[in-house]
Amino acid sequence: MNVRNITIIIISLLSTILFFSCDDKDEFLKRNLEELYFDYTESTLEFTVRATGNWVITIPSEYPWIHADPASGTGNAEEYQKIRVTCDRNIGNVREGAIFLNGSGENNIEIKIYQKDGLFEWSVFPNGEKLSLDGILQVGSPSSASIKIPYLKATGLESFAIAATLSGKGADGLKINQSEIQVPEEGDGFALIPISGTPTQQGAIAIQLNLQNEDFGIINTITRVGNTILTKKFDEFIWGGDCIGNKAGISTINPTATMTLSDETQECAVGTNGANGSGVTSTIRNQNVPFYAEIGMTNWLGVRNYMRPGYIQLGAASATSTEYGSLITPGLDIPEGEKVDLIVTFKGATYNDPSPKKILLGLFPKGVEGIKVANISSMTQKVYVPFEIGHQKWVEFSCIIENATNQSAIAFSLPEDWVQDGAVQAGRFYIDDIVVSY
């Protein structure tokens, strides 16, 4: 056999091999993903297949909650075909399943299916509490208020035994009639437990709730006569880096003693107040009384508090000797000789660590400049507000301060234990939208 014949044979063999190889490559069944993740609700997701011929989806019998549409088809090499996979509403634990593609020369190509758990659960409000009061309680007016409880993943068929107690002088005339609560609708929402009756006197009220023998905590509120004696929004504050909004800001270029809101300004970074003392401090109050009035802080006191754009910072980024970061309201506008229970609402936030896990509110003698290690014992009716809220978000809070008179102001402060070796340690928190009512 000569060389020419051998060459022809080799070329023929190679052509045959290439022909069959091309045939094998031309037949395929492909999908664009390997996993699908579903919420607990009945929901549908899509994926695509590309096939050279007939294909079919098989779903094992142990996964009756998974459905595919279409479940079969005929494709070509250029066409992408959409498949819709639907998972039934899950009322149990997290579950996993799979579907399989077959055809066009391929078998049991798996796509994993994951679905979140759908177990009913009670949730919490942004401040971490399980309960809230929906509506107000006012002396002499029939109650339209309810206990409000957030929930997740309900079927709408859940019901729970309840046991509630009302205590405090504000509880007179009020009651809770029902012994069971029905979750009102499917999905996420709020369950309401009505409070009935007509309150007869102003004062603090504690509403304690158990559901299915589980303690859900206490709502501390008041029945009120309808007087709002103080509001503060800090709208005049325009300087300082915006810690909570995570944005740079502006500050005056002028020194503390001569600054005004019409000053020429310069940029300052997120975490700073500016180079020229743009904080609302006792220094500004004493050295520049007109400016303190211009920013709406006349008769407000406290030390180690600082202007931020639209809100106020209490505390500092370094230790402050014996001074607590504090804010003290003007004297309370309460009739002479009366004692009332106040509800104080406000928004609070933190920027970074160190930040307090609780803050202190209470009554403080009006007209005293600020809270220090030496005089913090002068604060009465102390309330510690839990403040584990994460960073750079505003959360609404409320607390009750009892037995207030016109001889007192309300103080916001770092807690008493924020002291080490006699010095108040570094730490900051932020306050806005203060409302005081009774």
Sketch the domain layout of the chain as residue ranges.
29-115, 121-219, 229-437
Q: 68, 51, 45, 23: which is closest to 107 by C-alpha?
A: 51
Averaged pLDDT, 2-16: 44
Residue type, 372: K
Q: How far is CA 248 from the centre of its chain?
A: 23
User: What is the per-residue pLDDT across 300-359, written as a single tens digit (0 to 9) for each?
Assistant: 999 999 999 999 999 999 998 899 999 999 999 999 999 999 999 999 999 999 999 999
Residue 160: partners with Cβ closer than 8 Å, 6 or more residues away:
180, 181, 183, 211, 212
Q: Is the pLDDT of residue 11 over 60?
A: no
| Residues pairing with 50 in the sheet | 30
Where residue 284 falls among pLDDT bands split at 50, 70, 90? confident
Q: Do domains 121-219 and 229-437 have the same CATH topology?
A: no
**Cβ atoms within 10 A of the Cβ of 61, count?**
6
Of 2.60.120.260, 2.60.290.11, 1.10.10.10, 1.10.3720.10, the CATH number of 229-437 is 2.60.120.260
Q: How far apart are CA 409 and CA 298, in angstroms?
A: 14
Q: 187: which 2 tokens?
A: 């999905």
Classified by CATH at the fold level, domain 121-219 comes out as Immunoglobulin-like (2.60.40)
Where residue 7 falls among pLDDT bands split at 50, 70, 90? very low
DSSP 260-321: -TTS-EEEE-TT---TT--S--HHHHHH-HHHHHHTT-TT-B-SSEEEETTEEEEEESS--T
**Cβ atoms within 10 A of the Cβ of 306, count?**
25
**Cβ atoms within 10 A of the Cβ of 104, count?**
22
Mean pLDDT lowest among 78-92, 127-141, 197-211, 273-287: 273-287
Where residue 1 falls among pLDDT bands split at 50, 70, 90? low
What share of the chain has pLDDT > 70, as a percent?
93
Q: Is the pLDDT of residue 217 over 70?
A: yes
User: What is the per-residue pLDDT across 389-413, written as a single tens digit (0 to 9) for each?
Assistant: 999 999 999 999 999 999 999 999 9
Averaged pLDDT, 155-161: 95
Averaged pLDDT, 354-371: 96
Sheet holding 326-328, edge to edge: 326-328, 408-413, 358-365, 380-386
Averaged pLDDT, 163-179: 96
Q: 278, 276, 323: which is closest to 427 by C-alpha?
A: 323
Predicted local distance difference test score (pLDDT) of residue 26: 77
Burial of 270 (0-12, 13-18, 19+ CB in 10 A): middle
Q: Is the pLDDT of residue 22 over 70?
A: no
Averaged pLDDT, 140-166: 96
Predicted local distance difference test score (pLDDT) of residue 8: 41
CATH homologous superfamily of 29-115 equals Immunoglobulins (2.60.40.10)
Averaged pLDDT, 143-150: 97
Averaged pLDDT, 198-205: 97
**Cβ atoms within 10 A of the Cβ of 182, count?**
11
Predicted local distance difference test score (pLDDT) of residue 327: 97
Mean pLDDT lowest among 12-16, 59-63, 99-103, 141-145: 12-16
Phi/psi of residue 118, each to 5°? Answer: -120, 30
Predicted local distance difference test score (pLDDT) of residue 27: 87
Predicted local distance difference test score (pLDDT) of residue 41: 95
Q: Is the pLDDT of residue 385 over 90?
A: yes
What share of the chain has pLDDT > 90, as a percent?
86
Q: How far apart are CA 232 and CA 227, in angstroms?
A: 15
Q: 389: which 2 tokens?
A: 């809220």
Q: How far is CA 347 from the centre of its chain?
A: 12
Predicted local distance difference test score (pLDDT) of residue 277: 59
Predicted local distance difference test score (pLDDT) of residue 116: 98
Q: How far apart are CA 38 and CA 115, in angstroms?
A: 5
Predicted local distance difference test score (pLDDT) of residue 13: 45
Q: What is the CA radius of gyration of the chain?
A: 34
Residue 125: partners with Cβ closer than 8 Å, 6 or more residues away:
132, 150
Averaged pLDDT, 72-91: 95
Q: 417: which 2 tokens?
A: 């234990």
Predicted local distance difference test score (pLDDT) of residue 271: 86
Average pLDDT of the residues of the chain: 92
Q: 356: which 2 tokens?
A: 């307090």
Averaged pLDDT, 86-92: 97
